[in-house]
């Protein structure tokens, strides 16, 4: 089987999830005659939600790019590979809820644990997707460079490690653990993708 249907489904789910993120941004209802200062207070009061939106959008973009990179080298699929991708998309679709939870309850450890677990599961499934496809060249070409396979695995582990770190920090300092996710694009940029 080819991978075209998977890629189309992945693109659609990511587009919807990334769009739904913006629905978490809403000002509370206020009466008429809102002053400039009051609007400033309302907007700055939403800072946690704006940051949650931005970090979630960037993380989804990273997961989409990584899946796109994997799909470039994965030339065929099978039933197990299809289900790996279905479970991956199930947790992609959960990101808008996780983001809303962190935006609404930024000081609560449980909200950050839930978000971190969502990112951890996504990173783990995507890493497993690459491992499954490249193990004994199951779904990739036989001439795919082993260094490219290895670097793909290394890049996948970055998000796993960072999300575990963020979950750990959420028990101690939940207010700042969301900033840890900024390490994912930085560290993945250090590991060069070399097919």
| Tens-place pLDDT, residues 113-152 | 999 999 999 999 999 999 999 999 999 999 888 888 888 8
Whole-angstrom distance, CA of residue 27 vs CA of residue 45: 9
Provide the 8-state DSSP code for 27: P
Q: How confident is the model at residue 30 (pLDDT cuts 50, 70, 90)?
A: low
Q: From its phi and psi, is residue 34 left (phi > 0), alpha (psi between -120 and 50) or beta?
A: beta
**Considering only 12-21, 31-40, 129-138, which range has the smallest mean pLDDT?**
31-40
Instruction: Find the Cα–Cα–Cα–Cα dihedral 179, 182, 160, 74, rounded to 10°.
Output: 150
Structure pTM? Answer: 0.88
Q: Which of 191, 189, 186 is nearest to 147 (CA)?
A: 191
Instruction: Find the Cα–Cα–Cα–Cα dihedral 163, 166, 167, 171, rounded to 10°.
Output: 180
DSSP assignment of 146-177: HHHHHHHHHHHHHHHHHHHHHHHHHTT-TTTG
| DSSP H or E segment with residue 83 | helix 79-104
């Amino acid at each position: 089987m080819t991978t075209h249907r998977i890629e189309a489904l992945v693109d659609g789910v990511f587009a919807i999830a990334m769009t739904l993120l913006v629905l978490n941004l809403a000002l509370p209802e206020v009466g008429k005659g809102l002053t400039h200062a009051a609007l400033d207070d309302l907007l700055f009061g939403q800072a946690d939600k704006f940051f949650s939106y931005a970090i979630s959008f960037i993380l989804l973009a990273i997961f989409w790019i990584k899946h796109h990179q994997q799909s470039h080298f994965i030339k065929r699929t099978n039933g197990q590979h299809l289900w790996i991708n279905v479970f991956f998309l199930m947790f992609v679709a959960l990101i808008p809820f996780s983001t809303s939870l962190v935006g609404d309850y930024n000081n609560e450890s449980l909200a950050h644990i839930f978000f971190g677990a969502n990112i951890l599961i996504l990173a783990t499934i995507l890493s497993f997707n690459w491992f499954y496809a490249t193990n004994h060249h199951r779904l990739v070409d036989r001439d795919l460079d082993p260094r490219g396979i290895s670097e793909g695995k290394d890049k996948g582990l970055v998000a796993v490690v960072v999300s575990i770190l963020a979950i750990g920090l959420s028990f101690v300092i939940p207010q700042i653990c969301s900033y840890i996710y900024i390490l994912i694009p930085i560290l993945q940029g250090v590991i060069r993708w070399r097919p």
